[in-house]
């Protein structure tokens, strides 16, 4: 099946179902929210009579983008379920996603877990939000954009492109943003919202930056413990940037470990040059070549990730000699 055929089948499915439930990944970022809620807004605007729900755990730091819906299990009966921005099934927020009548996957990560009756995966896309715009555009009026949907998709795009600084930004990305900019919303306000943080989080950032270990080869990391979050009154449900070390000159790749209440750690891996997605896969994670995530059980595994990342960066540095 060609890409165009897949997109048209997705559009037809949206037209056909009266109940549509939208999911995205756990620990959401602006693209997860933007693609999920942006598509939701498009469907609601086009088909006011349909029952459309966006589900998942709310993130306090992204509440300005919208709030999720709380629905009962029986709503899934005969529903179309669409999962956006989620590479593999264990990362889907709200594991009821497979209870609907039909499942669709829309994602821009490498296709490591092929799921759904329909699946459109485009790793070269800047974001899932960019892909949602493309679906709307390909519908030729069968799906209709509105101001709120445009704002959500714009937020998702600038989130995953780092405000157009990351290599995933393409000429198509700018073309999509130019189209979205024609709608009535404040691009400046969205940019501000994605940059502004609370005072407690800013103080946490200061602590992390001051004590961040940096190795001579350009590897860095920081560990956000439960004790630190309590000290600065930061909720583990707030969005915390994983890109701060990347602003420091000389840092090539870095890891951010966030301790959970059960003692496990969420792992965010980022890189300017060497690919780190295979390292994430080693620890049951995945993602993009330069931005991936995983989860480890304890501090011993945290140390193992740091060791592996340091070796990966050293191999990259040696290859340049």
pLDDT of residue 203: 95
User: Domains, the chain, ranges and CATH?
Assistant: 3-194 (3.90.1640.10), 199-319 (3.10.310.30)
pLDDT of residue 188: 97
pLDDT of residue 321: 80
Q: How far apart are CA 77 and CA 100, in angstroms?
A: 6
pLDDT of residue 220: 98
Sequential pLDDT tens for the chain (321 residues): 899 999 999 999 999 999 999 999 998 999 999 999 999 999 999 999 999 999 999 988 899 999 999 999 999 999 999 999 999 999 999 999 999 999 999 999 999 899 999 999 999 999 999 999 999 999 999 999 999 999 999 999 999 999 998 899 999 999 999 999 999 999 999 999 998 888 999 999 999 999 999 999 999 999 999 999 999 999 876 777 778 898 899 999 999 999 999 999 999 999 999 999 999 989 988 888 999 999 999 999 999 999 999 999 999 999 988
């Amino acid at each position: 099946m060609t890409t165009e055929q897949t997109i048209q089948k997705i559009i037809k499915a949206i037209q056909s179902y009266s109940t549509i439930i939208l999911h995205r990944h756990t620990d959401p970022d602006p693209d997860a929210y933007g693609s999920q809620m942006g598509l939701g807004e498009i469907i609601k605007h086009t088909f006011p009579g349909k029952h459309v729900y966006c589900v998942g755990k709310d993130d306090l730091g992204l509440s300005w983008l919208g709030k999720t819906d709380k629905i009962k299990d029986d709503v899934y009966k005969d529903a179309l379920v669409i999962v956006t921005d989620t590479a593999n099934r264990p990362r889907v927020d709200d594991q009821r996603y497979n209870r609907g009548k039909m499942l669709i996957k829309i994602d821009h990560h490498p296709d490591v877990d092929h799921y759904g009756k329909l699946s459109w995966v485009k790793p070269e896309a800047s974001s899932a939000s960019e892909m949602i715009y493309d679906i709307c555009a390909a519908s030729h009026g069968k799906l209709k954009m509105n101001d709120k949907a445009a704002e959500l998709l714009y937020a998702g795009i600038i989130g995953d492109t780092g405000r157009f600084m990351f290599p995933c930004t393409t000429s198509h990305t700018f073309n999509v943003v130019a189209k979205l900019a024609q709608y009535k919303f404040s691009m400046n306000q969205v940019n501000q919202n994605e940059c502004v943080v609370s005072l407690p989080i800013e103080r946490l950032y200061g602590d992390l930056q001051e004590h961040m270990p940096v190795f001579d080869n350009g590897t860095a990391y920081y560990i956000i413990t439960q004790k630190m979050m309590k000290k600065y009154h930061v909720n583990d449900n707030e969005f915390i940037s994983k890109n701060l070390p990347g602003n420091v000159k000389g840092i090539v790749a870095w890891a951010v470990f966030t301790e959970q209440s059960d003692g496990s750690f969420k792992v965010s891996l980022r890189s300017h040059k060497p690919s780190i997605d295979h390292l994430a896969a080693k620890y049951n994670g995945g993602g993009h070549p330069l931005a991936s995530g995983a989860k480890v059980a304890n501090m011993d595994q945290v140390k193992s990730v740091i060791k592996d990342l340091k070796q990966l960066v050293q191999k990259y540095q040696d290859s340049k000699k």
